[in-house]
Amino acid sequence: MRSVEKLRRFVSGDHASDALSSLMAIAVGLFVGFLILLFSNPAQAPAGFGAVLTGGFSDMKNLGQTLYFAVPIILTGLSVAFSMKTGLFNIGASGQFVVGAYAAILVGVKCTFLPGHTHWIVALLAALAAGALWGAVPGLLKAYRNVNEVITCIMMNYVGMHLVNYLIVRTVFDPLKNQTMRVAASANLPKMGFDAIFRVGNNVSGANSGVLVALLMAVVLWVILQKTKLGYELKACGLNEKAARYAGIDAHSGIVISMMISGAMAGLGGALLYLSGSGNGISVADVLAKEGFNGIPVALLGLNHPIGVVAAGLFVSCLTVGGFNMQLYEFAPEVIEIMIAVIIYFSAFALLLQGFLRSRGHRFRAKAASGAFLDAEEAKRE
C-alpha cells in the first residue's frame, strides 16, 4: 500500500513530468527520423528504422560499442552539465577535451618508466590537470575581468587545437599516419574483462574500464553538487550570484573552481577516448574535436543532472551505433544526428510540457480528493 502511494506520488510529481517530457521529445524525434527514412527510401525504411532502434544492443559486440562510444560524450556531457548547474555555459569542452587527450598521450608515450599499473592512472591525472588548466582560463577571465565565458571558451577551443597540433609534431608525432604515436601498452585502460564479455566470437568491441571511470565521475559530481558545501555554494552562485555574494559566498573563486572541474571532466573524456587501446591517435588537422560539442546535447538531454547525463550519453551512443548498422540498408548515418537534433529541439519545450503535465496532475489529484470527499459525505448521510 505504502509503495503504491509512493509510486503514485512519484508519477504525479515533478521528476516524473521532467522524465515524461523527455520521453515525449524522444518519441517525436524518432518519429521524424522514421519519416525521413520513409521519404528517402520507402521499401527499406522499416528495416532501417529497426536497425536504428535495436542496433545499439542487438548483440554483445554492439552493446560493447555502445558503451565505448558513450564514454567520451558522457564525460563532455558531465563537463557541460556541471558548468550549467553553476550558471556558466562551458562551450569550450572541445579545447579542454583535446588538451586532456594530448596530456594523456604524452604521458602514455614518454613516461614508460612508471610501473605498469600506475602508468594509465598517471596519464588520466595528467588529462584531468590539463583540462582543468584549460577550463581555468575562461574561469579566471570571467571572475576577475568580467569577460563573457562563451567568447573565451570559443577562443580557447581554437588555441587548444592549434597548440596541440604544434606540440604533437614536436613531441609524439607519427608522420606515417599523420597522428600521435601509439601509447605504451601499460598506459591503455585495463580491459577488466570487458573484452571477454562484449564480443561476438573474434569480433571484439571497444568496451573497456573507461565505462567505470565515467560512472565514477558521474557519482563524484553528483556528490559534489548534492552533498558538499562547495556544491551548495556553486549552485547558489548559479541561481543568483548577487544573493550568493550577499550570503558571504566567494563567487569569484566559485566561478574558477566550477570551470576547472568542468574542464577536468572534458579533459578526462579525451584521455579515455585515446587510451582505449583502439590504436586511434589525435590526427593533426585544423578541425575542432567534435566530442566537445556533442557534450552539449548530452547534457541538455540529461537535464544537466549527472545521472541523467549518463543515461543520455548511453542513449545517444546507442542511436549512433544503430546508425552504423542502418548503413546496411543504404541510409546515410546523418539521419541519427537529425533525430537527436529534433529530440533536443522538442526537449527545449520541456518547460511548457512540464507545466501542462503538472497542471494535469494537479487537476487529477484535486478531482480524486474531491471525489473522496464526496464519498465520505455520502457515507455520513447514510
Partner 1 sequence: MNTVYFLVQQTMFFSVPLLLVALGGMFAERGGIINIALEGIMILGAFTGILFISTFQAQIPGQTILLLAMIVSAATGVLVSLAHAYASVNMKANQIISGTAINMFAPAFAIYVARMIGTVQQIPFVNEFRIAQAPGLGSIPLIGPLFFQNTYLSTYFGFLILILSHVALYRTRFGLRLRACGEHPQAAASVGIDVRKMRYAGTMISGALAGVGGLVFIIPTSTQFSATVSGYGFLALAVLIFGQWDPRRILGAAFFFGFMKTIAAAYSGIPFMQTLPIPGSIYKMIPYLATLIVLAFSSKQSGAPKAAGIPYDQGGR
Interface residues with partner 1 (CB under 8 A) are: 36, 40, 89, 91, 137, 141, 145-148, 150-152, 154-159, 162-163, 165-166, 169, 286, 288, 293, 296-297, 300, 332, 334-338, 340-342, 344-345, 347-352
CB of 165 to partner 1, least distance (A): 5
For partner 1, give the closer residue by CB, 1 or 351: 351
* Separation in Å, CA 203 to CA 60, 230, 334: 10, 46, 25
CA distance 300 to 80: 9
CB of 118 to partner 1, least distance (A): 32
CA 132 from centre of chain:
17
DSSP bridge pairs for 173: 180
Three-state secondary-structure class, residue 204? strand
For partner 1, give the closer residue by CB, 155 or 204: 155
- Per 3-state DSSP, what percentage of the chain is helix, strand, and coil (rounded to 5)? 75, 0, 20
Q: CA 328, 320, 27 angle in degrees (round to 5)? A: 100
For partner 1, give the closer residue by CB, 146 or 202: 146
For partner 1, give the closer residue by CB, 17 or 152: 152
C-alpha cell at 267: 579533459
CB of 344 to partner 1, least distance (A): 4
C-alpha cell at 75: 564525460
Count the neighbouring beta carbons within 10 Å of the beta carbon of residue 13. 12
CB of 72 to partner 1, least distance (A): 16
Count of alpha carbons within 13 Å of 103, Cβ hemisphere only? 29
CB of 346 to partner 1, least distance (A): 8
For partner 1, give the closer residue by CB, 176 or 351: 351
